[in-house]
Amino acid sequence: MRSFLLALALLPIFASAGMHGKPDEYFDILGTGHKDWRLAFRGTAHIQKSVYDAYRDGTGIPYVIEDGCKTIDWKAPCNNHYRNADAMNNWSNIREVLYGLVDHGMLVKVMRFKGASTNNLNWMKQNFLIESCWEDLKDARPNYFSINGYPKRHRRFFINNNYGGCDKDAGWTVVVDHPSPACPWEKNETYPYIKYVAGQKYENWNSYRIRSADAIVVFLNYYPGEPEEYHDLFHTGKKEWRLAFRGTAKVGQPVYPAYEDGTGVKYYMEDACKTVNFHLPCTSHYRNNDALNHWKNIDQVLFGIIYKGEMVKTIFFKGEHTTYMNWYEPEHLLKSCWDDLPMGPHKFFSIAGDKKLLRRFFIQRNYDGCSKDAGWMVVSDQPPTPCPWETTTIFPIIKFAAGPKVENWSKGQALDADAFVIFLKYKKL
C-alpha cells in the first residue's frame, strides 16, 4: 500500500516535473549530463528568409520543417528557421539564455545571459551577459549589442565594437539579414549569413579571422517549477520564494511521511494549500514533489509557522550542501525568530526528531519528564504514549514557543499552530 501511495505522489513529476514544453525539446547542450536546455530558436544561414522576422513572430517559417532543425545533431539537414512558439511566446521563469553559433556541424561559440527580468527581444544585452566565449566582451564598450541591432542596415543579433567606414568596422558577431547589404565585408554570400570572430577578441570585419556560421541557436534554462509556485513573502516586489511543503494540523494524517515521500497527501486538494493566503481553508498537507525530489541550487530554506492565518514565526537555513532531509539542523541555521535558539542546548534539532515518540520537525531543549519538557517547535505525529501537553483528539498537532525564547510545553507560553510551511529560495546568477 505504501509503495502505491508513493507512486501516486510521484505522478506529477513524470507528468510535468515542472517542465515547460515537451521533454524532446530539452538537450544536454553543455555536456553536464542533464537535459535542461530548451531549444527556443534556430536561425539558418543562406536560405533567403529573414532571421529576425522568423525570430520575432515566425514569419517565413513553414508549418512543417525538417527534424534536423529541432535537434542538436548539427549535421542533420535543415533548410529552414525554427521557432519554438510556446517557448518564445511564454517567456517566463527563465534562469539563463544561451546563444550559440554552429559551424561545420559543431557548436563553436557560446554566450550565456541572465534570463530574469528579460523578454524574448531584450535578453541579448551586455548587462545581462554571464559568460562569453570572447574574453574581451564583458569589459568592452560595444556600439551595438542587441537582437534588434542596426535596423537600417539589417544587421541583427549584432555585437559590434566600432564603426569607422566599411574598412574599419569591427566586432564579434552579426546576422546580415538582407540581400543587399552596404559594406563589402557583408557581401558575396546568399543572405542571411552569420559572421563571427573565430578568435578570442573582437576583429575587423574584413579580417581573415572572420568566419561564416551555418546557424545561430537560442536555448532557455528555466528556474524549477511553475511561476505560480513562487511568492513575494516579504513584500520586496520579487516572487522568489517557492512553496515546497505545507504541514497542516489536525487533518488525521501524519506530517513526516507526507514530507518524506508524499504518503497520505491528497491527489486533489484545496488551492489554499498551495498559496500564501493562510486565512483560506486547507484540510490536507501539500508536497511539491518537484521541489523536494529535485533538491539543488538552493540558497536558503525558510521554515514558517502559521497561526490564525498569519506567518508568526520564521527560521532561515542555508540551502547549500544540504538535502531535503537534513537542512533543518543547527549547523545550517542562518536566522531565527527565537533569540536563544542558536545557543541551545538542543536535545533534538532535526526533521526526523524523536523517532520513537514520533515528534517531528522537533527543536527541543530538554527532556525531564512531561511536566518539564521544553523546546521551541514540535510536530506531534500521534505518539504511542503522548504527554499531557500533546494530547488531542485529532493528530497531528503543531506546537511552538510563542515568545522570543524557549518555552515549557506544559506551563509556558506555547501555542498550537494551524500549519507550518517550507519555502525555497534558489541561487541567483
Tell the burial category of 68 from Cβ atoms under 10 Å away from its Cβ (0-12, 13-18, 19+). middle
Largest CA distance in the chain: 90
C-alpha 241/C-alpha 416 separation (Å) is: 25
Q: What is the mean pLDDT of residues 67-73?
A: 96
Report whether pLDDT(62) > 80.
Answer: yes
| Per-residue model confidence as pLDDT tens digits over 185-207 | 998 889 999 999 999 999 999 99
Say what the pLDDT of residue 242 is: 96
| Per-residue model confidence as pLDDT tens digits over 339-375 | 999 999 999 999 999 999 999 999 999 999 999 999 9
Report whether pLDDT(16) > 50.
Answer: no
- Which H or E run contains 145? strand 144-146
Q: Do residues 391 and 383 make contact, with C-beta atoms less than 8 angstroms apart?
A: no
- Which H or E run contains 54? helix 51-57
Q: What is the mean pLDDT of residues 224-253?
A: 93
C-alpha 192/C-alpha 180 separation (Å) is: 10
C-alpha 146/C-alpha 344 separation (Å) is: 55
Say what the pLDDT of residue 5 is: 33
CA angle 146, 148, 150 (to 5 degrees): 95
Q: Do residues 311 and 277 make contact, with C-beta atoms less than 8 angstroms apart?
A: no
> What is the b/e burial string over 311-350, where b = at least 16 CB atoms within 10 angstroms of the residue's CB?
bbbbbbbbbeebebeebbbeebbeebbbeebeeeebebbb
C-alpha 83/C-alpha 101 separation (Å) is: 16
Report whether pLDDT(11) > 80.
Answer: no
Cα 304 to Cα 315, 323, 420, distances in angstroms: 7, 18, 6
Say what the pLDDT of residue 429 is: 64
Average predicted confidence (pLDDT) for the chain:
93
Say what the pLDDT of residue 226 is: 81
- Which H or E run contains 82? strand 82-83
Domain residue ranges in the chain: 20-222, 227-426
Quickly count: other Cβ atoms within 10 Å of residue 104's Cβ.
10
For residue 197, give every residue at least 6 positions away whose Cβ sits within 8 Å of its Cβ, in sequence order, or none. Answer: 134, 171, 172, 173, 203, 207, 209, 210, 211
Q: Do residues 265 and 285 make contact, with C-beta atoms less than 8 angstroms apart?
A: yes
Cα 199 to Cα 16, 135, 184, 210, 324, distances in angstroms: 41, 9, 21, 8, 44
> What is the distance, to the nearest Å, from the Cα of residue 103 to the centroid of all Cα atoms in its chain?
31
Q: Do residues 112 and 130 make contact, with C-beta atoms less than 8 angstroms apart?
A: yes
Q: Do residues 228 and 18 make contact, with C-beta atoms less than 8 angstroms apart?
A: no
Q: What is the mean pLDDT of residues 159-185?
A: 96
**15-29, 118-132, 189-203: range with lowest mean pLDDT:** 15-29
C-alpha 195/C-alpha 108 separation (Å) is: 12
Q: Is the pTM of this model over 0.75?
A: no
C-alpha 417/C-alpha 309 separation (Å) is: 10
Pick the more confident residue, 6 or 220.
220
C-alpha 125/C-alpha 141 separation (Å) is: 12
Q: Do residues 259 and 247 make contact, with C-beta atoms less than 8 angstroms apart?
A: yes
Q: Do residues 137 and 129 make contact, with C-beta atoms less than 8 angstroms apart?
A: yes
In 3D, which of 206, 243, 175 has the Cα closest to residue 420? 243
Residue 10: band (very low, low, confident or very high) from pLDDT cuts 50, 70, 90? very low
Report whether pLDDT(1) > 80.
Answer: no
- Which H or E run contains 87? helix 85-89
Q: Do residues 215 and 74 make contact, with C-beta atoms less than 8 angstroms apart?
A: yes
| Per-residue model confidence as pLDDT tens digits over 82-121 | 999 999 999 988 999 999 999 999 999 999 999 988 999 9
| Per-residue model confidence as pLDDT tens digits over 291-344 | 999 999 999 999 999 999 999 999 999 999 999 999 999 999 999 999 999 999
Pick the more confident residue, 6 or 308.
308
Locate all alpha helices (DSSP H) within 219-318, ordered by sequence: 255-261, 289-293
